[in-house]
Every structure is written in C-alpha cells, then in structure tokens.
C-alpha cells in the first residue's frame, strides 16, 4: 500500500479505535464488538509495522485501555497495569512459545512452565493494602493512571456474591501489598439484576462486563452496594521485595490471605499442556458461573519474567488466547416475523453473515415487540449480536452512533404471514399471536396437542410422526388426520429408526402399527365435548376450563355462537378468558376447522352439569397417589360431577382426598378442620 494511502487509513483506524475505547472504557457502552476492535487494531499494527513512520506515541497500539474518566480522582499506579497481547490460533500460540525460548536462549526441547487461567470478562482493578488495611483502589484506566473508586470497591462482595474485596488482611501479610484482579458479575447475578432493572422501568445492561463496569463506576457508592459484584484476584506485588519464586506460589499466597482465586487455574508443563488446558476450558466455558472469552497464559517462574520484561503495552511473558468471538457487530438487512408452534410471532433479524463461536450466523432473534422497541432495532441498523454455546443468536443492542438516517422501523403484520389469519396482541401480553387453528407454522405442535391423552387421546401419534405428516403434505389441519390412508400410515411407519418416536412400531411391523393408529383415530371420534374443546387449542382454555364450557353450553354450535357476556357467565371464566375465547370462535378459519372435524365423523357428547351429589359446587384437593386411577382421571371425574379441583388447601376447601404418601396438604387439612377421605371413601363418593 502506498505511504499516503497507508497514512490515511492509519488515521481512520486511530480515530475509530479511540472512539471505541472511550465508549467502552469511559461510557461503558461499546460501539464495536471485541472481535471487530481486535481486527482494526491488528490492521493498524500491520500498517505501522510496514510503515514505521506512521507509529505515534499515542497510537492505540502503544497504549493500554482508555483514558480515565474525569468524574473520578486520578490515581497513578506504582507499576503500570499492562494489557495482554492476543493470539487466536495454534500457530500464533506456537510463535509466542518460540519467542519465549528465543528471548531466554533455551532450546525448544526444554519446556517452559506456564500458569493458565480463564480470561475473565470484567473490569481490571488494583487494591492497595497498607499495614494489613485496605487503603485505596483504582481501575486500570490507561494502564499508568486509573480512577479512584475506593468507596465503591469497599462494597464489592457485600451481597455475598463471593468473598469480594477484603477490608483487612490476617497477621503476617506484607506491610504493603498491591493486589490486582477482576471485578465481575456472575451470570446468575447479572440476569437477576437485569430483571430488577426492567421491573423498575430502567434499561438493562447489555452484558455482564458492562454491568460490572457501570456498577463499579457509580458516583454514589450506595448504588454500587446494591449490585452483586464479585472480585477474583490474579496478581500481587510487594514493593521492593519478591517473596515468591513462582506465580503459582503467589496465587496460593493470595488464597491463604483470604482472597478469591480462580479455582479453574492450572499449572502447565510446556505448551502441549497449555493447549490441552485451553481445549478443556473451551468445552466447559458455558458451564462456568461467569463469562470468559479465552485463556491467559503466563510464564510461571518470576525470575524468567523479569528477564523477559515488557513492551510498551504488554508483558512479553504473557498472552491471551481468545476463543472465536461470541459477540460481533453486523448490519440488519431485514426484520420479519417467524410464527412458532404456539402461534407466537417472534421478530427475527436477518443480518450480514458473521462468524460467531465457530459458526456463520445470518439471523438472530429479537424475542418480542417490547424487546424490539426497547433496544430500538431498525432495518439497516448496525447491531451487536451474541451467540453463547448452543443458544440461538440474539441481538444485544443497536449502535445508533453508526446510523445514516436511512434505517426503518419494523411493524408487526396484521395478518399471519403463514396462513393469513388475524394477528392479535392481548392486553398485558408481550407476544403477538396468530389466531388461525389451521396455521401451518403451528401445525405440528397443534397436532401433538390434539392427539394428547386428555384431548382426543390418539395413542401412538407422537411428535415426529406429526412432523412427518406435515412434511409430506398429508395433513394440513386436524380433520385431515381422519383421511390419511392405510398405505400412507404404512409408509410413515417404515421410516428409519432415527425418525421415529420412542414407542413407535419398528420397521418390521408397519402394517400392524398403521392399523393400530387407524383404530385409535376411529375410537377418538366418539369423544366428549370437553376433550374436543381442549384439543382445539383455544387460547386460555385448559382442561378444567374446557369442562366448564362444555357443561355450560352443551354443544359446539352453542359455544361458537356465544358472546363475551355469555362466556363470562360460565364458572371460572373471567373477562380476559372470555375475550380470548370469543376472538378464537369469531375467526372464520377456526369455525371452518371445527365444521370439517364434525364432517369427518367426530361426535362430541355433551356433558350435563351436575345439579347434585357430593361434589357439586365443592372445592376438592387431591394429595398422594391413588392405586385405582391417575390424578388426571380423578380430577376429570370430580369435575364431571360439578366439583372443582384446587392445588392447595385453604379454609375454602370442602374436601381433601388423601392417597398413599400424602404430605403437607393432609397436615394442612387437619389444622384447618377440612374433611378428609381416603381412596376407598373417594370411590364411594364417586359412586353416589
């Protein structure tokens, strides 16, 4: 590249990197992903290597982190807090090891002892102890000067996240001790904190690193005290002395003083053991309680470290191996609504493909409309997306600073993109839903529900078989199940083993399995109205509500014609349930689905409401196991006789049925004086 062109590009890179450092270190609001920052920094380093005259003292390649914030008092570190060089491949790790051997003048066959540690994703800090007391603490800042956050650091660990920042050291501690480590938020604490922020109407943090940094850099220490921060120590300095021979001894001494030291740290003999450690940690990284984006490799022998020294920005005796990025910046090219098996419409962002976690990602979930609006994601936006483990990639945040003015907001469709039925969002719900009972996007899940034991009870019709029916175009709605031919069932049961549900007939018996399923479908036609209503998957209509509706209306036609007032008159049906049932029955496509089921021979028997008997109008609680029937069958029997089954005992409970190994509910019934019967007594009541 010509020098003039290289100079222009170097200026562009320095400006972008400085802006990114300010956003990351000072504002705690990243505008570049770590991977994108690393790429730009490597490009700048390459230009400066090829054109040495372009290198400046204030270049991001020569400095550590960002400038300290003006909001805090500045603190000079006695020894610089250097950053680490990054490597991303075995070849680069081999080069690091070869460089160590070269600088030390040792042969390649003499392995170097290393300490390997998970690379923590938090905020680097230094704690200074004088006479065994914590006297002040600071952030890393630019490596030479940090921010005085002593008052905030005193609160770290106060909520029990870990031992945190020790206020005093035991007897025998060095007169002055400088401890360096990472302030971080563990995953569970981060999620809980974000839930609280959302509940309070405040914006949540994008990731644990920014949450930790933002929490520690509050001007009011009392706010920091409400955040469940942790501190993990990884370095110690004693001015004018070297009390330890190795880094491993130093870590043991920190643990003996009471500091939290990472239990995952490992001592490695040579580079082969380092690589084995790295691979083990990569396989386990998502099981760890904190975020980690790599492994730090350090020469163990402190005398060798002193000989190796440091460059302007990083020590020569340590390096960070970075895993493939889990967070990247890319541009949204399209937003569309994906219809799930329950009818929920999920906004999905199509993005310019990026490599995340070893896989190429071209789309990411936006969860729901509230999340979409809160994060202000638009078509054309630059966004940060994250992929952790096997989790579906998600959009973390938009980057408004990179907008051009051509970005467009996304509007949810009024009609389902799969079937054309109305799309609704009920008050109090986060999700938009398709109201179509025959929606193909929902069909597999709906078929499985339709065939369930408490619904139409079609034995043998599992999820994979339902998926195969839909995939081959044999079933497009419930009524089609009753039209599938014997030959088609036979072919379906001849599928390879991996495509069959557990319990399905093996390939050598497809004829018998096909006939069994046809028989099960024939039996299911003679059902009850309660089962049919439950099987249809009407929103808010579970088994108990289906029973109440069946007893109140007596027929499908009467329910389809009922208005909201009539629905609300049914026991246990409130305004919200009535509204959703009426929205479903008012959809022409849903009415057509029911009509075609009746035309296929389904004959639901009416369930008359019980007007008397021991269960009519009573609230019953079941506890313990029954030998003569399942809990579901017992519940159905009570409800058919006009009773209501509750999950807890209270003063409003009329009867408790106690089976084998009845527990706390039986004791509560005794305390409240509620009538209790055993299984024999329950069967006798059913017979009345």
* pLDDT, average across residues 419-433: 84
Give the residues across from 76 on adjacent strands. 145
Q: Is pLDDT of 27 > 70?
A: no
Identify the weakest region by mean pLDDT among 87-96, 207-216, 552-561: 207-216
pLDDT digits (tens, 9 = 90+) for 36-52: 777 788 788 888 878 88
Q: Bigger pLDDT: 21 or 629?
A: 629
pLDDT digits (tens, 9 = 90+) for 219-234: 888 888 888 999 999 9
Q: Is pLDDT of 390 > 50?
A: no
Is 313 among the residues known to form the active site?
A: no
Q: Which of 212, 176, 218, 177 is nearest to 194 (CA)?
A: 212
Q: Is pLDDT of 57 > 80?
A: no
* pLDDT, average across residues 533-545: 89
Domains and CATH numbers, the chain: 3-62 (1.10.287.610), 86-322 (3.30.470.30), 325-436 (2.40.50.140), 458-524 (1.10.150), 529-599 (1.10.150.20), 619-687 (3.40.50.10190)
pLDDT digits (tens, 9 = 90+) for 296-317: 999 999 999 999 999 877 899 9
In this structure, how many other beta carbons lie within 10 angstroms of the beta carbon of residue 596? Answer: 17
Residue 277 is predicted with a pLDDT of 96
Q: Bigger pLDDT: 646 or 274?
A: 274
Q: Is pLDDT of 582 > 70?
A: yes
* pLDDT, average across residues 585-611: 86
Q: Bigger pLDDT: 54 or 165?
A: 165
In this structure, how many other beta carbons lie within 10 angstroms of the beta carbon of residue 518? Answer: 15
Residue 309 is predicted with a pLDDT of 93
Identify the weakest region by mean pLDDT among 253-262, 495-504, 623-632: 495-504
Q: Which of these is catalytic: 102, 119, 250, 635?
A: 119
CB 467 within 8 A of CB 444: yes
Whether the CA torsion 506, 472, 600, 566 is positive or negative: it is: positive
Residue 66 is predicted with a pLDDT of 54
Q: Cα 181 to chain center, whole Å?
A: 27
Give the residues across from 434 on adjacent strands. 423
**Average pLDDT in the chain:** 86
pLDDT digits (tens, 9 = 90+) for 310-356: 987 789 999 999 887 778 889 999 999 988 767 889 899 999 998 77
Q: Is pLDDT of 417 > 80?
A: yes
Q: Bigger pLDDT: 71 or 265?
A: 265
* pLDDT, average across residues 581-604: 93
Tokens of 671: 């305390």
Rounded to 5°, the CA angle 295-301-302 comes to 100
CA-to-CA distance for 281 and 292, rounded, in angstroms?
9
Residue 551 is predicted with a pLDDT of 86
Crossing angle for the helix pair 271-284 and 90-104, to the nearest 10 degrees: 150
pLDDT digits (tens, 9 = 90+) for 448-492: 899 998 899 999 898 788 888 988 999 999 999 999 999 999 988
> Between the ranges 207-211, 304-308, 612-616, where is the mean pLDDT highest?
304-308
Q: How far is CA 175 from CA 68, 233, 237, 239, in A?
A: 28, 18, 11, 9
The percentage of the chain sitting over the pLDDT mark of 90, rounded to a whole number, equals: 42
């Amino acid at each position: 590249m010509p020098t003039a062109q290289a100079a222009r590009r170097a200026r562009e890179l320095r400006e972008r990197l400085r802006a990114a450092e300010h956003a990351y270190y000072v504002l705690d609001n990243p505008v570049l992903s770590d991977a994108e920052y690393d790429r730009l920094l490597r490009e700048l380093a390459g230009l400066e290597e090829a054109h040495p005259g372009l290198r400046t003292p204030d270049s991001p390649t020569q400095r550590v982190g960002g400038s300290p914030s003006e909001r805090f008092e500045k603190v000079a570190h006695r020894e610089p807090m250097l950053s680490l060089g990054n490597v991303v491949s075995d070849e680069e790790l081999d080069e690091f090891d070869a460089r160590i051997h070269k600088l030390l003048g040792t042969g390649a066959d003499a392995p170097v002892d290393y300490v390997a540690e998970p690379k923590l994703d938090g905020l680097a800090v230094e704690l200074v102890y004088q006479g065994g007391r914590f006297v002040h603490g600071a952030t890393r800042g630019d490596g030479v000067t940090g921010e005085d956050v002593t008052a905030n650091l005193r609160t770290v660990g106060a909520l029990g996240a870990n031992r945190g920042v020790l206020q005093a050291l035991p007897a025998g501690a060095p007169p002055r001790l400088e401890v360096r480590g990472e302030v971080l938020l563990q995953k569970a604490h981060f999620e809980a904190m974000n839930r609280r922020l959302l509940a309070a109407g405040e914006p949540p943090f994008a990731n644990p690193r920014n949450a930790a940094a933002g929490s520690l850099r509050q001007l009011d220490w009392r706010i920091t005290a409400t955040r469940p921060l942790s501190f993990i120590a990884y370095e110690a300095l004693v001015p004018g002395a070297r009390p330890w021979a190795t880094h491993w001894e130093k870590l043991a001494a920190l643990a003996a003083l009471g500091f939290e030291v990472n239990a995952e740290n490992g001592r490695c003999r040579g580079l082969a053991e380092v690589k084995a450690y790295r691979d083990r940690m990569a396989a386990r990284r998502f099981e760890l309680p904190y975020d980690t984006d790599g492994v730090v490799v350090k020469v163990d022998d402190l005398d060798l470290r002193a000989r190796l020294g440091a460059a302007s920005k990083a020590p020569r005796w340590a390096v960070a191996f970075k895993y493939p990025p889990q967070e990247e910046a890319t541009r949204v090219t399209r937003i569309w609504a994906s219809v799930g098996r329950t009818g929920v419409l999920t906004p999905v962002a199509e993005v310019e493909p990026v490599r995340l976690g070893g896989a190429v990602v071209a789309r990411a979930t936006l969860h729901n409309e509230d999340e979409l609006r809160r994060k202000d994601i638009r078509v054309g936006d630059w966004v940060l997306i994250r992929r952790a483990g096997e989790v579906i990639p998600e959009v973390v945040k938009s980057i408004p600073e990179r907008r051009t003015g051509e970005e467009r907001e996304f509007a949810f469709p009024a009609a389902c993109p799969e079937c054309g039925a109305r799309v609704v969002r009920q008050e109090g719900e986060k999700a938009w839903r398709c109201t179509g009972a025959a929606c193909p996007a929902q069909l597999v899940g709906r078929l499985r529900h339709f065939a369930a034991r408490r619904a139409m009870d079609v034995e043998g019709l599992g999820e994979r078989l339902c998926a195969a029916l839909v995939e081959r175009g044999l079933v497009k709605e419930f009524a089609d199940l009753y039209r599938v031919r014997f030959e088609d069932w036979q072919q379906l049961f001849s599928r390879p083993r991996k495509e069959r549900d557990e319990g399905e007939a093996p390939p050598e018996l497809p004829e018998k399995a096909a006939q069994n399923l046809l028989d099960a479908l024939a039996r299911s036609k003679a059902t009850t109205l309660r089962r049919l209503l439950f099987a249809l998957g009407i929103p808010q209509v579970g088994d108990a509500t289906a029973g109440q509706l069946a007893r109140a209306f007596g027929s499908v036609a009467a329910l389809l014609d009922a208005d909201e007032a009539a629905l609300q008159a049914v026991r246990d049906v409130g305004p919200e349930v009535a509204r959703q049932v009426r929205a479903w029955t008012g959809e022409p496509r849903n009415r057509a689905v029911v009509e075609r089921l009746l035309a296929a021979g389904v004959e639901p028997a009416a369930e008359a409401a019980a007007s008397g008997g021991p269960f009519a109008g009573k609230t019953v609680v079941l506890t313990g196991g029954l030998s003569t029937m399942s809990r579901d069958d017992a519940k159905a029997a009570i409800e058919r006789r006009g009773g209501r089954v509750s999950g807890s005992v209270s003063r409003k409970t009329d009867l408790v049925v106690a089976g084998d190994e009845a527990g706390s509910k039986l004791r509560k019934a005794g305390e409240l004086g509620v009538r209790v019967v055993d299984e024999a007594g329950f069967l006798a009541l059913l017979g009345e």
